[in-house]
A and B are shown apart, each in its own frame.
Chain A
Amino acid sequence: DREKKRRKNSRRKEASSSADREKELQPRHKKTERSRRRSAKNEQETKRSKRDEEGRGDDEENANEDEEVRPESLSPEELEKLKEAVDEKKKLIQSLRGKPWLMKKKLVTLRESQEFVEKYEGALGKGKGRKLYAYKVMMTKASRQWISLDTNVSSIYCHFGSSVASYFIFLRWMYGINMILFGLTFGLVMVPEALMGRPYGTIPRKTVPRAEEASAMDFAVLWDFKGYAQYSVLFYGYYNNQRAVGWLKFRMPLSYFLVGVGTVAYSYMVVIRTMARNANESGIGDDNSFNFSWKTFTSWDYLIGNPETADNKFASITTSFKEAILEEQESRKDDNIHLTRFLRVLANFLVLCCLAGSGYLIYFVVRRSQKFTLDGLENHTWWERNEVNMVMSLLGMFCPMLFDVISTLENYHPRVALQWQLGRIFALFLGNLYTFIIALMDEINLKREEEKIVKFNITTWEASLYNGTVSGNFTAPPVTIHPADVPRGPCWETMVGQEFVRLIISDTMTTYITLLIGDFLRAVLVRFLNYCWCWDLEAGFPSYSEFDVSGNVLGLIFNQGMIWMGAFYAPCLPALNVLRLHVSMYLQCWAVMCCNVPQERVFKASGSNNFYMAMLLVILFLSTLPAIYTIVTIPPSFDCGPFSGKNRMFDVIQETLESDFPAWFSKVFSYASNPGLVLPFILLMVLAIYYLQSTSKSYKQANVELKKKLQMVIYKLV
């Protein structure tokens, strides 16, 4: 490994010397803007390539380091301090890009920090669980490289600024979460049932009914997720309620229930952990003092590597100065506040009208679709059958544009206007979603009514079956009937799962089609019609579209909400979502680079990260509510799913506790779930939350006072 080190050092020296040589050559020519930018990009690339090199070599180092620091010689406090120093250096490396330093200083600092991290990271891991630590480091680095979106994201950052890049980072993070959810549902629910459960066709619930068999393989039926798709591991109805399956004695219903609960718990944990991490880095926050100084010295984005973006940024900085001057003037003038207030009230009224209109339209369409199902779905065209999904997707796409246009009446600061916009889109999506859910509840109730009738019919049918053979004898030979001929009970859980899957698919299709038409086709038309059109299509009317960050982020969040809502009833949903996100990542990346232009108002998305996380948390809460409600109140169908035959779905936990665990465990559990113990525990948690909240408030206060002192000191110095 000494050889390896020498090789790596020589590689590093080569890279740095090439960078130095480039830097020397550049001043020879006249340093125009473009060449300066090019050199910055080259240095950035060499820095990135250096980091990749270090990354690839790092895990070897971690595994084979035998020299330099002996951790046994350090005391535990020094070890702690060393660990802190290593973490700090790592953070510095990550945040180095955004710092407004000279390129030379950045390179030097990067080199020093990387050397430091290399030297001591492995050493730290040596003391305790070194192998695990090294493995963890290698896995994070491998996962970074595997999702090769990293290079795409950095070029997007370069061209479009931080707000668009933040969307893709958010998308990538969401993809990671969905992979874990997919792993859970696939590995613990779908695969055991497929491998160890009874195969297709053995019991009634796993077979396509005789009446539907003829059309079960049609594409149209499969696209609606009926036919063979319905009677498969993709949906709730296929699962058998046998307590233990296979030679492993795998507890299928328990696993189904726990995976359902576990996905929600994992999602909560991840979201809150990310929020806490973001809150640490969330920065100082803009105060209104020294507004123009901040703008003058900190407006430029040093990562821009593209002339068009630089022009745009220049124009937007000029515009922001003009706006700030105007704002100062207006804040001093302060006239016509009545007109402004009236216009704002008017705008809110129009938005409310639009929301009410969209809510009513969805309600109307849902009622119509219920009427259609009563008539029998075969009599209606495809459009009529998929009306609900289409209307929801279309409204979700068009109403935000209308809100955007209405908000120009209000004359707010752009950041405030964006928050209002996000709030309104949020209300729209929430209204649509909950109308959809209420409609679903109606259908569930219908199915449960049907269930009673079907139960009665089945008993009469069974009686008629035995009637023909028995004539007074008690020992009747069991009649063998093909599972496809057995009359079925209705399965509201599968129906719910199917509705969600169809909604997600129609939403995805609408997004992609809008992307293709609204962005790609528009770009093609603008580019090629421009040669023979009377006005400049690029600068004037259609022009290229901008990337709508807020709309896309909200769409992503709401799609995830729908996944969380439906994942219990359709275990295929996380898999579908993983596929969808995968395609979305690459498609949208390509579309952004190919068809979009940088936004005019390139403002920082600094505080928005936590805002999106907060919205995700709210959606998580709101979308798990209906699922939890249905689990707790509605009895499961008697004829399908892993909980058939039970009174409530969570009875499976009780059953497991009684049969699988020793007797004392269930006694302990019953003591622990005593309200007398639970209530004080909840009280204690509330007190702990209050205490933590007050300490964090006092820390913030201390921060603000320190900042003020710092300002005063600087003021005195200057």
Chain B
Amino acid sequence: MRSLSFFFVFLLSLFPILCFSFNPESPTDRRVLVLLDDFSLKSSHSIFFNSLKSRGLNLDFKLSDDPSLSLQRYGQYLYDALIIFSPSTEKFGGSLDLAAVIDFVDSGHDLILAADSTASDLIKNIATECGVDFDEDSSAMVIDHKSYAISGTEGEHTLIVSDDFIQSDAILGETKIEAPVLFKGIAHSVNAANSLVLKVLSASPSAYSANPESKLLSPPLLTGSAISLVSVVQARNNARIMITGSLDLFSNRLLRTAVQKSGSQDKYDKSGNELFVTEISKWVFHERGHLKAVNLRHLRVGETDEPAMYRIKDDLKFSVEIYEWSGKSWEPYVADDVQVQFYMMSPYVLKTLSTNGKGLYHASFKVPDVYGVFQFKVDYHRLGYASLSLSKQIPVRPFRHNEYERFITTAFPYYGASFTMMAGFFIFSILFLYNK
């Protein structure tokens, strides 16, 4: 009886996990683990956290050295996303370590990582695994003497402004970020060999990464637009990662600061940080830019049922429906660059699909005159959007013996010869037998 009630309690405790576990039908993250150096960050970064909470995310705040830290239990992940706001942590508590974080991302979960000038090797290593290299000089900060924020109390030009955003509505939303973003922190560069990392916010050409206190004797490793202030990664499994060298970027103080860029007359009552961090967090938590493709169909022209096989030179119609997740529901996705491939070892046909504006994409083409096992392939990669990669196998056969052309005029002399021969034989056989 006791064990039964224990079992019941256990089931009850599992309930929330079962209810909130990741669901491909609603890809928005629900459970987020926030790792902090110190709980005072909850208060100093409350605007950012509150905006996440107001969007229905379940934030679980933990100290980064909490001995009970764990991302998974019994092989199930307890969280959909991880926010690491603990730059100085040398070692996570509990079972969490570098490998656990990377495994978490590898299994399709999301990550926001913020470092600052106190960034530890652990944090830098996580970033390196994601294709982002922080400046090795631990005392260096991003300095920009041309585009810094004019302020009565900031003389070192380490509080810089940047408005060099990536051009992508998927990542930064449709609202244009008018005010520049304030940044104070360390520089990183994206790995040139990694094609999945994107610079979302770049420094201006006059920026450089150095220690503001000491003289520069050798050229800094990172300068100009090569410095990335905020980068994102979208992995092949659509896990999304955001990495920045400034924890202050999210802080109430910078979110609420009035900003004026040096050398510019435009004054803004509020920096662009709030809009920026809100929009980019929407992207990271799959509230935007997440696509799904359904109802991949193909038909022979004039028919209504999907054939099991095509013959060479058949005319076919291909259609697929693509929807974008808006955070609450699936909305039709409208674009003019979705393409389908008819593929066997290499694409034989690559065609841009036309859309009806309601999510349906279609195209029609003639099956090539090569037989074999083909695939319909939709490989859709667009800046900021989740990549779609779906394929459907379909065999293509050659003509049957009776499907070739008959009564070819060119062959008439041969037929004529045969038939006259036959007529001659018929007459000859009669005359040969009965002539006397």
> Is B a genuine binding partner of A?
no
